[in-house]
Structure 1
Amino acid sequence: MERLRGIVWTWYLRALGARVGKNLRMRGSLDILVRDEASLRQVTIGDNVSFGGKTYLRLRRNGRIVIGDAVVTGTEVWFVAAKEATLQVGRNTKIGSYNIFNGGHGISIGDYCLIAAFVYLNSSDHRHDGPELIQDLGHTGAPIEIGKDVWLGGQVVVTQGVKIGMGAVIGAGAVVTGDIPPYKVAVGVPARVIKDRTESAREESLL
């Protein structure tokens, strides 16, 4: 059934201009909203991608969504892109359920990442620097960059402008408001580095 759904959705997306690779698998449906001069021509889905349940694609103002080869997701995952920014997920990345990737100012996720459930990547925020209604003040933001082989634990929040280096590990429930260097383990609110990832490997080898 997953394969059949994938064939149907591949045909539909391609008919509307999206670039979709071979062997798309779908356990659920796509919920698509395109507005403000965006189009599905700005969506690219690689080969052997598997969406594990209902998946949301949101594009406006020429945002782009690029999902690499062999990406696997859970259910209720949101991909949001706007303002000519790109939300890009690298190949062989595994994404848990109930995640929101708000790429209003750009998000880049490297290859071979692990992203647990209930993770929120937020590259855009509402402005609140004036007396007007917050809804009327527009947005501010900066790109989020997540390197290759990064592991984000459950319920992690990453805020605008953050860079997480290759091989880093972010503990469950952390709120990442500043850059994390490569191969570091960070936890807490706000997230802080507690050790090197190589130290974790050495500790486990002694158990």
Structure 2
Amino acid sequence: MNTLVNRILRRITGREYSIETTDLIYIIEKGLTPLIRGFIWQCLKFQKPNGFMLGKNVRILGARFLALGKGISIGSNSYIDCYSHEGIVLKNGVTIREGAWIQCRSGLNSKGQGLEIHNNTYIGPNAVIGVGGKVIIHSNVQAGAALTISAESHELGDSSYVEGGTHRRGVVIEKNVWIGNNVTVLDGIHVGENSVIGAGSVVTKNIPPRSIAAGVPAKVIKQL
């Protein structure tokens, strides 16, 4: 059986593999089962199946506001609220790992603007993305675990933040950005392409292209 699988993989990919029984179980649990689950979900939503991989216990609100490219993967135990003015667009090859929380609406009268994640971007486990203003994450971004993006900010009122105004400037992360674990990106931020954000950073100001930034608040420590 293993020999047959190795031959099939070699024919498909042109590469040599040495697949053992435990590898087959991993492939089924990690790839085949989510692929079947995604196929069923798309059929139930009257969408054309296109390689969507869907983990267990995923809750998607407002599926009609969700546009899926090819080969999308959403990990188990994720919550995605798509109710927004422009919806959520996940382009080809996007991976959102387990435990993601994506919120586009905070109340009946408070729709967010929308979210776009472009080709081949990877969002690590336990990400939190609050979509007030528009959030755009461009192609080939690699984000580690526990990324937080908050595209909304509050002014302080005389006695509490409840009395203050709300701003939704949005967040843009350009292509080829590498983001470490536990990074927070606040409202109004633009991260330039080919930049690196160090683990544990809180990004409160724009990051120029081809920069390495780190710290709380994040500061540019080197130009690439």
Equivalence for 1:100? 128
Change (3 A) 1:196 1:132: closer
Give the TM-score taking structure 1 as reference length.
Answer: 0.82
The superposition leaves residues 145-172 of structure 1 with CA deviations (integer Å, 9 ceiling, x where unpaired) of: 0000001110000000000000110000
Unaligned stretches of 5+ residues in structure 1: 34-38, 198-207
Structure 2 residue matching 1:44: 3-state secondary structure:
strand
Q: 1:158 aligns with which of 166, 174, 185?
A: 185
Q: Do the aligned residues in 2 keep the contact of 1:21 with 1:46 (CA within 8 Å)? A: no
- Equivalent pairs, count: 187
In angstroms, what is the RMSD of aligned CA positions? Answer: 2.0
- 1:187 matches 2:214: yes
Higher share in helix? 2
Picking from 78, 90, 108, the partner of 1:67 is: 90
Equivalent position amino acid for 2:41 in 1: W
Q: 2: CA distance between counterparts of 1:118 and 1:91?
A: 21
Residues 1:22 and 2:45 aligned together:
no
Matched, 1:175 2:175: no
Q: CA deviation at 1:67?
A: 0.8
Once residues 181 and 21 of structure 1 are traced to their aligned partners in structure 2, the CA distance between those partners, rounded to angstroms, is: 39
Q: 1:69-120 deviations in whole A, cap 9, x for unaligned? A: 1111210112222435121101100111000111111110010000000110
Q: Is residue 79 of structure 1 aligned with residue 107 of structure 2?
A: no
* Unmatched tracts of structure 2, length 5 or more: 1-32, 106-110
Counterpart of 1:124, as a letter, is E
How far did 1:45 drift? 1.2
Task: Decide which structure has the larger Cα Rg and report it.
Answer: 2
Q: Partner letter of residue 148 of structure 1?
A: K
Amino acid in structure 1 at the alignment position of 2:151: S
Q: Normalization by structure 2: what TM-score?
A: 0.76
Matches of 1:179 and 1:21, distance apart in 2: 39
Structure having the higher strand fraction is 1
Percent identity (aligned): 28
Measure the CA separation in 1 of the matches of 2:122 and 2:192.
Answer: 17
